[in-house]
Amino acid sequence: MIYLDLFRALEKHQVRYLLVGGLAMNLHGVPRMTMDVDLVLVMDEDNLERFFACARELHLTPSVPVPLSDLKKPEQRKLWHEQKRMIAFGLQNTEARIPTMVDILIAPGIDIDLAMGRAILRDLDGTVVTLASIDDMIALKKGTGRAQDESDIEHLERTRG
């Protein structure tokens, strides 16, 4: 798996996160193509510092011309979300043989502490991946207006049922 190094680094640095998006759909048993990894991070300072160490180790840099450290600023995330309609902060490693793209959701609309309590731990080749529950996946996708998210909700509800 192309992203196994990411999950190993997240585990090594003890980053608290939830895997969401297309890759999470696959791990819930819903086949879906995706080109990136979508994460929801616990946005406290210590966890973000651990994530930054992980990003440095993997040579992940912002896709936009802002410093990664801006993720620490709640007011900046709010501004991006409200004024720029930004959903995710994109990171990439263009130096890798196969470029790695990681999106950090900046205003996920779920209570991350409660969602972490409902998370599903999956073993991928000896590495633990923290997967958002089906209910939290549905909550993240509701109301986005994206056809792909509506389709994902239907598949997730069938999987849950």
Q: Give the tens place of pLDDT for each residue, 100-118.
A: 899 999 999 899 999 999 9
Give the whole-angstrom CA distance, residue 66 versus residue 69.
8
pLDDT at 46 over 90: yes
Asked whether residue 160 is domain-assigned, the answer is no
Query: What's the confidence (pLDDT) of residue 40?
Result: 98
Asked whether residue 158 is domain-assigned, the answer is no
Question: Range of 124's domain?
Answer: 4-150
Asked whether residue 119 is domain-assigned, the answer is yes
Say what the pTM is: 0.94
Asked whether residue 97 is domain-assigned, the answer is yes
Asked whether residue 124 is domain-assigned, the answer is yes
Asked whether residue 155 is domain-assigned, the answer is no
Give the whole-angstrom CA distance, residue 73 versus residue 30.
35
pLDDT at 12 over 60: yes
Domain harbouring 58, CATH code? 3.30.460
Average pLDDT of 37-49? 97
Asked whether residue 39 is domain-assigned, the answer is yes
pLDDT at 1 over 60: no
Query: What's the confidence (pLDDT) of residue 75?
Result: 96
First vs last C-alpha separation in the chain: 29
Domain count, the chain: 1
Strands (DSSP E) found in 13-153: 17-20, 37-41, 61-62, 88-93, 100-105, 120-124, 127-131
Model confidence at 145, pLDDT cuts 50, 70, 90, reads confident
Contact, 160 vs 36, CB < 8 A?
no
